[in-house]
A and B are shown apart, each in its own frame.
Chain A
Amino acid sequence: MEKEFKVPPVSFASVGNPAGQNLQNRRVPIPPFQPNSGIPFMSFDIGSAAVSTSSGPIYSGPGIGGGGSVNFDDEEPLLDELGIHPDQIWSKIRSVLNPFRVNHTVHKDSDLSGPILLYMAFCLFQLLAGKIQFGVILGWIVVSSIFLYVVFNMLAGRTGNLDLHTCTSVVGYSMLPVVIFSAISLFLPQGGFFGLAIAAVFVLWATRASTGLVVSLTDGGDEHRGLIAYACFLIYTLFSLLVIF
């Protein structure tokens, strides 16, 4: 069945006309957007902005004026507000760097920003090796910290007081040897027994660091040191498998 549709006539612009004229014919000029003048807009001068004193060269972002009563000079520096303290992270990383004597006093307050930094570094080195494993590594870190948390608290019984935040922090910081191993393995021949032999050194380093931290940061771990060490050993062997193969 054929139906007749009423179609509005279509007229194409002829080629000879200048384009600007036609465009103006077609489009209604829209006035530029006027912001609501009720909100006071604080103009700021970069030179006079308060620079954070504790975070060194990191520049805190410009304040957005809204509401009018928050003075830009009174705001905390961004890193402090986020709870990231770079010097603390650096001192914690340095403490793990020495495999024979881990300084556990700096790890008293756990934080997760250092582990995230080490995680990004690990993923970056794996990316350089051609393996895109961001999700895998994050998932494994979460699972292994839950595993260590369960094992430690079950072993220590009522006297154990490891909480998940501290556990993840310890597991994350002790990943430093694995990160170094993944950086080194970019220059080594791939796979095989050779990789396993080199991995053993780094895994033992990571195990020693994490066991020392866990036992010294919590109460009930002293008589189960060997048992906890084996759990940590399994965790870091898993990560080193990602690096070797």
Chain B
Amino acid sequence: MYNNVRPQLGVPQFQPQLPTSSQPNVFGNAFNAAGSGLIRGGLGAYGEKIFGSSSEYVQSNITRYFSDPQYYFQVNDHYVKNKLKVVLFPFLHRGHWTRITEPVGGRLSYKPPIYDINAPDLYIPLMAFGTYVVLAGISLGLRGKFSPEALNWLFIKGMVGWCMQTALLKLTLLSLGSGEAPLLDIVAYAGYTFAGMSLAALGKIISGYSYYVLMPWFCLCMGIFLVKTMKRVLFAEVRSYDSSKHHYLLLFIALAQFPLFMWLGNITVNWFI
């Protein structure tokens, strides 16, 4: 159910998703959409080598873990603006939170982000992460501690934060018995924290005190957003509906945002201090 449909941008190259995929190189096809001779040639060749001789078990696992990344980049200006509003001020979202499904090629899959405000995308998390790193660099520089190595350190710290958030969400899903949500979905949901984090970092640069207001605020907003999103994911995924366990885990997700934000917001060159 979670095999995302390939982009149907009027190009007649639609390939149906089969569990034991007949295409030997998933990565080659994912980057075909990139349309570049360099990547296509190089990665296609490697894809043939890597996947051509491996067993079907490995093939189906790779297809399961890395759904087509192109799906997450079908965005436009309108989507980005509204999604940022949803992420940063989730209590203002009047509509529903469920993703729109459409039957494509015999199986149910979700609509791409252009058509559905609730679909996750990878553009906003990537840009928000970059913004966070740049703003953290500026705030280090204003304190006189900037150096290129410090920027590398901030990058790594941000990646660790992103991975921890992904792990949190993924473990929550796993503990309820369902590991079927695509990994890139979880990565996208986890990456939305950087949007709020960037605004908090901006507040820190502009005035030191506004940070202590903005940071808990965005922490709360991110908690609400994650709770609402994960609730829908859990509805769609988990077979048995165990209400109290669900709610405790959702509450745990929301509360775990606070230490994460405090750690990420404390912009230094060390791990904790």
A-side residues, CB < 8 A to B, are: 133, 136, 140, 149-151, 153-165, 191-193, 196, 220, 223-224, 226-227, 230-231, 234, 237-238, 241-242, 244-245
Contact = CB atoms under 8 A, between A and B. Distances in A.
A140 B173 CA distance: 37
Contacts of B196: none
A150 B36 CA distance: 10
10 contacts: A140-B148, A151-B73, A153-B33, A154-B34, A158-B9, A158-B33, A191-B144, A230-B127, A241-B137, A241-B141
B49 to A, nearest CB: 21
A142 to B, nearest CB: 14
Lowest 5 A-B CB distances belong to which pairs?
A245-B141, A153-B34, A245-B146, A154-B73, A136-B148
A241 B127 contact: no
Nearest to A195: B141
Contacts of A244: 141
Interface string B132-158: 001001101110101010010000000
Contacts of B273: none
Interface residues of B, number: 36
Contacts of A140: 148
B126 interface: yes
A159 B34 CA distance: 8
A155 B141 contact: no
Interface in B23-69: 32-39, 69
A159 B141 CA distance: 40
Given A238-B134, A241-B146, A153 B77 contact: no
A238 B35 contact: no
B109 interface: no
Contacts of A231: 127, 130
A196 B144 CA distance: 14
A234 B35 contact: no
Given A196-B138, A226-B77, A238-B134, A157 B70 contact: yes
B9 A159 contact: yes
